[in-house]
């Protein structure tokens, strides 16, 4: 699904060029659950933006489903995001005065999906996260943090993306609630979804089957944890 080949990213200021990514290469197969881990300043946020088609690299190749999107225009990247990538963020980014169902149908409204179909797809996505159906008509600001994150996951799933990119998805949750959310990702992965989890926490990363460790803009280690989950 994903192949990065010597990806670099630099930013220029008035006096110097700052190199954030210094030659990142790895592959992620279809159906994998991978965590990208690193401390603050390691480059993981910059890498996340490139993986999510929110930014382009300075050099190198990024193949997504066999297409090199490294030099795509913003319009082309927007199309990739809409068609192939579901995002889950730390801050949930839900509309507080909209119902759970309305929040999840929003991406489908922008895609001009008919009302009956988008509501059916939203309900199916919510059910896949384990959220109780009694919550579907609640306003999102009436939910707990864990419930809001499940709604955010359902919103990411509703367009049937080939990739789910989760950026510090448990950062605003207590430990117990975070475990529930991470278990939701595990179940989705078992159903065939490809998931990339961005985190700086070891105990969060260990829920994935593989960890790619970043430091100072480079991949310093890859760790296979699939055996630990058997």
Taking only the tens place, the pLDDT of each residue in 83-129 is 889 999 888 889 999 999 999 999 998 889 999 999 999 999 999 88
| Band of residue 148 on the pLDDT scale cut at 50, 70, 90 | very high
The answer to whether residue 230 scores a pLDDT higher than 60 is no
Q: Supply the mean pLDDT for the chain.
A: 91
115-128 and 100-110 helices, crossing angle to 10°:
130
Task: Measure the CA–CA gap between 163 and 51, rounded to whole angstroms.
Answer: 10
Beta bridge partners of residue 11, listed in sequence order: 18
Three-class SS of residue 113? coil
Range of the domain at 163: 2-229
**Segment 68-82, tens digit of pLDDT:** 999 889 999 999 998
Model-level pTM? Answer: 0.88
| Pairing of the two strands 33-37 and 194-199 | parallel
* 130/222: higher pLDDT: 222
Count how many domains the chain has. 1
- pLDDT for the residue numbered 226: 73
pLDDT tens sequence across 172-216: 888 888 998 898 899 889 888 999 999 999 999 999 999 999 999
CA distances from 161 to 51, 90, 120, 194 (A): 14, 19, 17, 9
Tell me the torsion sign for CA atoms 195, 201, 204, 207. positive
Query: Which pLDDT value is given to residue 224?
Result: 93
Contact 100, 138 (CB under 8 A): yes
Q: Is the pLDDT of residue 229 over 70?
A: no
**CATH number of the domain residue 49 falls in:** 3.40.50.300
Q: What is the mean pLDDT of residues 133-150?
A: 92
Percentage of the chain exceeding pLDDT 70:
98
Q: Work out the pLDDT band at 2, boundaries 50, 70, 90.
A: very high
pLDDT at site 92: 86
63 has pLDDT over 60: yes
pLDDT at position 104: 95
Q: What average pLDDT does the segment 148-171 reach?
A: 91
């Amino acid at each position: 699904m994903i192949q990065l080949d010597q990806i670099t990213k630099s930013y220029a200021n008035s006096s110097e060029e700052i190199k954030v990514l210094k030659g990142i290469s790895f592959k992620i197969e279809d159906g994998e659950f991978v965590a990208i881990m690193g401390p603050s300043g390691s480059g993981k946020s910059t890498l996340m933006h490139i993986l999510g088609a929110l930014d382009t690299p300075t050099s190198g190749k990024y193949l997504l489903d066999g297409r090199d999107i490294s030099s795509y225009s913003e319009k082309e990247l927007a199309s990739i995001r809409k068609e192939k990538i579901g995002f889950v963020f730390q801050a949930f980014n839900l509309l507080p005065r909209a119902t759970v169902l309305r929040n999840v149908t929003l991406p489908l409204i922008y895609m001009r999906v008919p009302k009956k179909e988008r509501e059916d797809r939203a309900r199916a996505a919510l059910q896949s996260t384990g959220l109780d159906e009694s919550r579907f008509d609640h306003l999102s600001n009436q939910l707990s943090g864990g419930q809001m994150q499940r709604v955010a996951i359902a919103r990411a799933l509703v367009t049937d993306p080939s990739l789910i990119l989760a950026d510090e998805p448990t950062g605003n949750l207590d430990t117990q609630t975070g475990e529930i959310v991470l278990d939701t990702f595990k179940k989705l992965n078992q159903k065939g979804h490809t998931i990339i989890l961005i985190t700086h926490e070891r105990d969060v990363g260990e829920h994935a089957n593989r960890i790619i460790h970043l430091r100072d803009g480079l991949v310093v280690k890859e760790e296979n944890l699939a055996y630990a989950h058997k």
